[in-house]
């Protein structure tokens, strides 16, 4: 039986390890380039008003500088455009050096006098992602910092009226929270760029202050969205390398018509195309360059400050973060263009495909494609060039003179930049006023490049392939072969639109003739969110693409597109297989907060099972056995699912509201912009269907962590044994009632004056001491009696036989040195081991508050606000009263029948109300321990 239990939980632990491995390592290598400082960075502290400095002693405002620029700005006489960097969770203000250094080098290269003044805020590296008590304080300090920055420009001829904010992680959430302040003027901030910021929901909701803060921000930006349309916000997610904040959470809730809000993933940013982890998104050179280029393009040359025009801001941001065409929207040439009038420069192309490589000697070259003969047979014109200079190169001819085009319009605005080349795809139905297409391939500077163009029939080059079922475990594959009949092929991956799906997509290319070719580009295009990923390979090659999503499609109307920019005269074979380890990784990425909830459920049911055993037999069961029996999905998940179904009925909803019960918790929806999809946020069914598997993983964590706790306590007892006198009494480590009350009062005062988590931790240590003394007593009795550890015979259902039961009943009058005395100590030890495992959960959930208090001791000895204070006194009472608890007292208690059945009801409530509110786990555990503590007294 023990072997089967160990094997089962070993397999469950293996599944958890496989999922964690995919989550933490199952992504591409870090391809970000590091940003370097060429001179020593300096951070000049900006003086704040005394009132502000007194209210926020732990915070500070700094100006970044290097070398000569740092010396010139020593007196804080500034003439640049202000940018303020906001660090995130446990982030340092010095993380602004990448943005500041690149901006300084850019200003030096431009030599126009236009430059940025990069400021940074010191938030004392607070853990605001886990402790929400500081978020409101950070928001108020940010407001004061913005006002202080603008005051530095008061002697400037045309002073800036706003500050651009760049927020990393929780810094981006704090930036949006500015607009919730009653005295904040919205015109002070017109542009916010956030990096890996969880806008939809917190990663882990460990206290009420964090959720209240998110609710206030969401209410301001959702309910009053029309008032904030002039505020431009762009949110950039890190991609799959960022396992701390999944990119789906970085989506901005905004109405469909609000074009001033952009959400995207770093893999889709032109000239970046890389996934970043949670920290490297700050210093990733490719992304920092895109941000700095956008900033300088946003500066008006005359005023040398950021543009106040929202349309201008969006045009620039779309240019650098979305598509990167040849020029920005406001630079479009409306007048007809005159091209070269030299007949030698013109060639008319009558074939279906053009492949042209420029010679070493520079020359003007234009290719003319007639549209009249192609309109009926083809739908699109495709052209690409590895000349990455973003200049006009595709035109529509409106007037000809013989073989020359004398009048044309620029069609290059639709150009899209890919890593190895730029691509232009034109729909022939949009070119009714154009007679010919002109492709420029001039290389007057002698630069060599290749141009490839062809006519396309999009329907014939689009293939639909159904993806394998997510539970096919890679045993089946969907294969498709693409011939060399085109330069662009699109494979529609049917039914691929949910985040729990994960595939291995293998692309094998081979060519009949070996020669130099342009690289192939495989692009996973997600129609409903900007999370495209690109893979550049040579030909021939064997490539594996990871097929996973950051967001789901709400209506399941279409799937992911796999675009293959292929080489001519080559064949491509695409194979799609489900990957079970990646499915596990996606499950942990999106449903990870459910695992600690089910761990608490398992430990609480184990405690209930221990109490039931004491009620029936007067004996405690071995800790590993009772924890193993804590896996009871039929008793927990089934009632929760029935509740979910009943809530679909109007009468049950009315009864639910009459009882004033909170709504059932559901994990954050995986749909982008979910707030505006429907009047009520949709609830996804797949996390509920996965709950049994999540329960198994949570039970595995409880089983092996309780085993580890038991081992650690055993080792500590061996170390402490020489320091204690041997004891043979089951009452070792207990406290008198007066001492208990005195300790409870002292710890309560200490918790109120300092930190509630500190008091809870001190009470936990006192209970651990009781467990250690029981272990030392059990070992001493075994040695004194020279008895080997014995196991009572148990029936198949785990109950003790009648002989063992009668022997237990006779132990009350036995002498201290007897087998019965040893058994009593062992029973108490198993009971307290279960309680210790249960007591560990509130300690872990309150750890962020304790860490925050320790790190801020030099500024304040009291944690304000303290999220642990509401349950500090109940936990102190329970921890201290249960120190004296033993199986004899419990078996005689009149409250034990009620206490043993309460954990099951509380676990159902825990699964119903805790996935989005992890701090509620502590309240449910406390509710289960209150009657247990009274059972020891009554």
> Please, what's the b/e burial string for 165-200 (b: 16 or more CB within 10 A of its CB; e: otherwise)?
bbbbbbbbbbbbbbbbeeebeeebbbbbbbbbbbbb
DSSP annotation of 70: H
Question: Which tokens is 368 given?
Answer: 């003319």
Please tell me which of 38-42, 106-110, 790-794, 828-832 the model is most confident about, judged by mean pLDDT: 828-832
Compute the average pLDDT of residues 478-483. Answer: 89
- The yes-or-no verdict on residue 582 having pLDDT over 80 is yes
Q: Report the C-alpha dihedral over residues 306, 308, 309, 312, rounded to 10 degrees.
A: 10
State in Å, rounded, how far the first CA of the chain is from the last one. Answer: 37
Backbone angles phi, psi at 634, to 5 degrees: -65, -25
pLDDT attached to residue 815? 57
Least confident residue range of 65-74, 652-661, 694-703, 802-811: 802-811
Choose among 630, 596, 637: nearest CA to 610. Answer: 630
- Which band of pLDDT confidence, cut at 50, 70 and 90, is reported for residue 713? very high
Position with higher pLDDT, 237 vs 341: 237
The residues with which 251 forms a beta bridge, in sequence order, are none
Q: Residue 932 in contact with residue 886, Cβ under 8 Å?
A: no
**Token output for 333:** 């040439």
Query: Per-residue pLDDT for 343 more than 90?
Result: no
The answer to whether the peptide bond before residue 540 is cis (omega within 30 degrees of 0) is yes
Q: What is the pLDDT of residues 903-927, one digit of tens each?
A: 999 999 999 999 889 999 999 999 9
Q: What is the mean pLDDT of residues 291-305?
A: 91
Q: Return the HEC string of 836-866.
A: HHHHHHHHHHHHHHHHHHHHCCCCCCCCCCC
Give phi and psi for 370, each to the nearest 5. Answer: -80, 135
Question: Is residue 382 within a helix (H) or strand (E), and if so which, with residue range?
Answer: strand 380-385
pLDDT digits (tens, 9 = 90+) for 205-218: 999 999 999 999 99
Residue 387 φ/ψ, nearest 5 degrees: -85, 100
pLDDT at 874 over 90: yes
For residue 328, pLDDT over 70 is answered with no
Question: Are 99 and 34 in contact, with CB atoms under 8 Å apart?
Answer: no
Please state the rounded mean pLDDT for residues 895-904: 92
**In this model, does residue 816 exceed pLDDT 80?**
no
Give the mean model confidence (pLDDT) for residues 421-445: 91
| pLDDT at site 101 | 95
Of 32, 26, 549, which is closest to residue 281 (Cα–Cα)? 32
CA distances from 292 to 106, 111, 289, 657 (A): 8, 16, 5, 51
Which residues, 6+ apart, have CB-to-CB distance to 752 below 8 Å?
869
State yes or no: pLDDT of 806 exceeds 60: no
162, 169, 247, 275: which one is catalytic? 169
pLDDT at 154: 86
Backbone angles phi, psi at 83, to 5 degrees: -130, 135
pLDDT score of 873 more than 90: yes
Q: Does the pLDDT at position 639 exceed 70? A: yes
Tell whether pTM > 0.75. Answer: yes
What lies within 8 Å, CB to CB, of 109 at 6+ separation is none
pLDDT tier for residue 818 given thresholds of 50, 70 and 90:
confident
d(CA 353, CA 373): 14
Give catalytic status of residue 727 as yes or no. Answer: no
Determine the average pLDDT of the residues in 502-523. Answer: 89
**Is 80 exceeded by the pLDDT of residue 495?**
yes
Confidence of residue 515 (pLDDT cuts 50, 70, 90): confident
Which 3-state string (H, E, C) describes 286-317?
HHHHHHHHHHHHHECCCCCCECCCHHHHHHHH
- Picking from 737, 733, 739, the residue whose alpha carbon sits closest to that of residue 769 is 733
CB contact at 8 A, 233 and 176: yes
Task: Report cis status (omega within 30 of 0) of the bond before 865.
Answer: yes
Distance CA 198, CA 890 (A): 47
pLDDT of 805 reads 44
Cα 508 from Cα 543, distance rounded (Å): 6
DSSP for residue 125: T
User: pLDDT at residue 567 above 70?
Assistant: yes
């Amino acid at each position: 039986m023990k072997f089967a239990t160990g094997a089962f939980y070993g397999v469950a632990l293996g599944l958890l390890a496989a999922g964690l491995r995919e989550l933490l390592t199952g992504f591409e290598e870090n391809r970000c380039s590091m940003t370097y400082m060429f001179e020593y960075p300096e951070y000049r502290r900006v003086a704040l008003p005394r009132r502000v400095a007194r209210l926020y002693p732990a915070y500070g405002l700094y100006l970044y500088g290097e070398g000569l620029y740092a010396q010139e700005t020593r007196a804080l006489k500034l003439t640049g455009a202000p940018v303020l960097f906001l660090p995130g969770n446990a982030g340092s203000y010095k993380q602004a050096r990448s943005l500041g250094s690149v901006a300084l080098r850019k200003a030096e290269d431009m030599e126009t006098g236009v430059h940025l003044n990069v400021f940074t805020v010191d938030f004392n590296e607070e853990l605001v992602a886990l402790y929400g008590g500081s978020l409101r304080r950070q928001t108020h300090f940010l407001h004061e910092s913005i006002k202080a920055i603008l005051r530095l420009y008061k002697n400037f001829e045309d002073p800036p009226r706003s500050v651009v904010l760049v927020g990393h992680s929780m810094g981006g959430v704090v930036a949006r929270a500015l607009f919730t302040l009653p005295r904040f003027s919205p015109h002070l901030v017109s542009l916010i760029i956030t990096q890996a910021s969880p806008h939809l929901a917190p990663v882990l909701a460990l206290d009420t202050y964090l959720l209240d803060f998110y609710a206030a921000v969401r209410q301001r930006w959702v309910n009053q969205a029309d008032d904030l349309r002039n505020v431009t916000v762009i949110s950039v997610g890190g991609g799959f390398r960022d396992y701390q904040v999944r990119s789906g959470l970085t989506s901005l809730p905004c109405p469909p018509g609000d074009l001033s809000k952009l959400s995207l993933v770093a893999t889709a940013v032109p000239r970046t195309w890389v996934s970043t982890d949670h920290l490297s998104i700050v210093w990733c050179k490719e992304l920092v360059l895109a941000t700095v280029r956008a900033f300088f393009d946003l500066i008006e040359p005359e005023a040398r400050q950021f543009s106040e025009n929202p349309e201008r801001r969006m045009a620039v941001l779309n240019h650098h973060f979305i598509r990167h065409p040849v020029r920005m929207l406001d630079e479009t040439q409306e007048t007809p263009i005159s091209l070269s009038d030299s007949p030698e420069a013109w060639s008319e192309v009558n074939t279906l495909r053009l492949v042209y490589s420029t010679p070493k000697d520079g020359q003007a070259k234009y290719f003319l494609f007639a549209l009249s003969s192609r309109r009926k047979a083809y739908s699109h014109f495709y052209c690409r060039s590895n000349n990455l200079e973003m200049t006009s190169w595709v035109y529509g001819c409106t007037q000809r003179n013989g073989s020359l085009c004398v009048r044309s319009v620029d069609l290059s605005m639709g150009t899209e930049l890919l890593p190895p080349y730029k691509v232009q795809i034109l729909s022939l139905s949009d070119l009714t006023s154009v007679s010919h297409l002109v492709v420029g391939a001039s290389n007057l500077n002698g630069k060599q490049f290749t141009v490839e163009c062809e006519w396309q029939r999009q329907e014939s080059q689009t293939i639909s392939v159904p993806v394998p079922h997510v539970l096919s475990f890679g045993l089946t594959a969907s294969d498709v072969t693409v011939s060399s009949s085109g330069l662009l092929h699109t494979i529609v991956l049917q039914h691929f639109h949910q985040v729990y799906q994960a595939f291995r997509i293998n692309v094998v290319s081979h060519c009949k003739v070996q020669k130099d070719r342009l690289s192939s580009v495989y692009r996973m295009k997600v129609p409903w969110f900007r999370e495209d990923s690109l893979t550049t390979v040579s030909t021939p090659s064997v490539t594996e693409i990871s097929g996973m999503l950051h967001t789901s499609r709400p209506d399941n109307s279409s799937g992911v597109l796999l675009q293959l920019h292929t080489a001519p005269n080559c064949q491509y074979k695409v194979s799609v297989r489900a990957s079970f380890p990646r499915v596990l990784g996606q499950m942990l990425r999106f449903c990870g907060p459910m695992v600690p909830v089910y761990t608490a459920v398992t430990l609480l049911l184990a405690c209930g099972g221990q109490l039931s055993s004491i009620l029936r037999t007067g004996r405690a069961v071995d800790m590993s056995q009772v924890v193993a029996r804590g896996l009871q999905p039929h008793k927990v998940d089934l009632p929760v699912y029935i509740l979910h179904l009943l809530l679909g009925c109007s009468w049950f909803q009315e009864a639910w509201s009459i009882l004033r019960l909170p709504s059932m918790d559901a994990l954050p929806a995986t749909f982008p912009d979910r707030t505006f999809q429907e009047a009520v946020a949709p609830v996804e069914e797949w996390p509920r269907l996965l709950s049994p598997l999540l329960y198994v993983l949570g039970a595995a964590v409880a089983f092996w962590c309780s085993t580890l706790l038991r081992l650690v306590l055993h080792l500590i007892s061996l170390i402490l044994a020489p320091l204690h006198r041997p004891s043979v009494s089951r009452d070792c480590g207990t406290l008198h009632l007066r001492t208990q009350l005195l300790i409870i009062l002292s710890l309560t005062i200490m918790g109120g004056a300092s930190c509630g988590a500190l008091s809870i931790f001190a009470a936990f240590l006192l209970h651990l001491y009781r467990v250690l003394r029981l272990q030392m007593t059990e070992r001493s009795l075994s040695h004194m009696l020279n008895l080997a550890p014995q196991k009572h015979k148990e029936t198949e259902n785990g109950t003790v036989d009648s002989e063992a039961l009668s022997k237990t009943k006779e132990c009350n009058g036995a002498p201290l040195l007897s087998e019965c005395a040893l058994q009593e100590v062992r029973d108490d030890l198993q009971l307290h081991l279960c309680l210790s495992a249960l007591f560990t959960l509130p300690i872990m959930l309150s750890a962020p508050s304790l860490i925050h208090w320790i790190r801020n001791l030099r500024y304040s000895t009291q944690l304000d606000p303290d999220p642990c204070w509401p349950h500090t006194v109940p936990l102190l009472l329970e921890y201290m009263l249960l120190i004296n608890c033993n199986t004899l007292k419990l078996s005689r208690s009149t409250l034990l029948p009620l206490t043993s059945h309460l954990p099951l009801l509380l676990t159902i409530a825990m699964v119903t109300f805790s996935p989005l509110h992890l701090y509620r786990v502590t309240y449910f555990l406390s509710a289960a321990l209150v009657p247990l503590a009274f059972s020891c007294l009554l």
